[in-house]
């Protein structure tokens, strides 16, 4: 089970996702795609919501979460946004919008996924897991630090960062320093 990279569970009439998602797929250390479309999942069921949020937070390689028939409302949108703050790997998340999902919440979810996409393209490829405390982003022509800050938040064991020869403006460096100082408290 730990070697699975893609899981497609479309149209299986799944309801009790707390058991299905809660532990089974968190154990799949290499899981990159999970498709649970066309099932009977109702996020009004708090256990289902908790299970999917646990999956988002804890599945460290999940990139694509597909649940096209699942409707997300405003309260759930905010809860999922909190989960995305703790995950830097999910770059696509398909779902249906409930009319109560406010534009601001939707835009913040999309912005979070955009940051994750930047992490996937600009930060993650240069992180070497055999040196887990170090992140070398020298000479990458980076101009923004938002994706770096989120990656550091999700990987608290990184203490050595090399950002030489990039294109950061003062405000970007200030944001990064403020985060690093807050992490030491």
Token pair 């600009």: residue: 122
Task: Name the pLDDT band for 16 (thresholds 50, 70, 90).
Answer: low
Helix 170-184, helix 146-154: angle, nearest 10: 20
Share of the chain above pLDDT 70, in %: 87
pLDDT digits (tens, 9 = 90+) for 121-176: 999 999 988 899 999 999 999 999 999 999 999 998 999 999 999 999 999 999 99
pTM: 0.86
> Going by C-beta distance under 8 Å and a sequence separation of 6 or more, which residues neighbour residue 87?
56, 57, 59, 62, 116, 154
Per the CB < 8 A criterion, the answer to whether 100 and 74 are in contact is yes
Domain locations in the chain?
6-122, 127-184
Higher pLDDT, 87 or 16: 87
Helix 74-85, helix 46-58: angle, nearest 10: 20
Give CA–CA dist 104/101, Å, rounded: 8
Token pair 């919501």: residue: 49
Q: How many CB atoms lie within 10 A of CB 65?
A: 22
Task: Name the pLDDT band for 37 (thresholds 50, 70, 90).
Answer: confident
Q: Which fold has domain 6-122?
A: 3.80.10
Per the CB < 8 A criterion, the answer to whether 100 and 72 are in contact is no
């Amino acid at each position: 089970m730990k070697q699975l990279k893609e899981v497609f569970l479309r149209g299986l009439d799944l309801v009790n996702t707390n058991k299905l998602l809660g532990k089974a797929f968190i154990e799949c250390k290499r899981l990159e795609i999970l498709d649970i479309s066309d099932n009977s999942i109702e996020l009004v069921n708090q256990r289902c919501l908790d299970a999917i949020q646990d999956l988002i937070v804890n599945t460290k390689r999940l990139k694509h979460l597909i649940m096209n028939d699942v409707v997300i409302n405003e309260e759930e949108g905010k809860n999922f946004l909190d989960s995305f703050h703790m995950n830097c790997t999910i770059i696509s998340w398909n779902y249906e919008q409930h009319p109560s999902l406010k534009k601001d919440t939707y835009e913040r979810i999309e912005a979070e996924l955009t940051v994750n996409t930047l992490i996937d393209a600009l930060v993650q490829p240069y992180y070497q897991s055999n040196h887990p405390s170090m992140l070398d982003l020298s000479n990458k022509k980076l101009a923004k630090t938002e994706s770096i800050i989120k990656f550091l938040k999700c990987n608290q064991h990184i203490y050595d960062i090399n950002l030489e020869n990039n294109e950061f403006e003062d405000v970007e460096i200030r944001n990064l320093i403020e985060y690093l100082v807050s992490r030491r408290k």
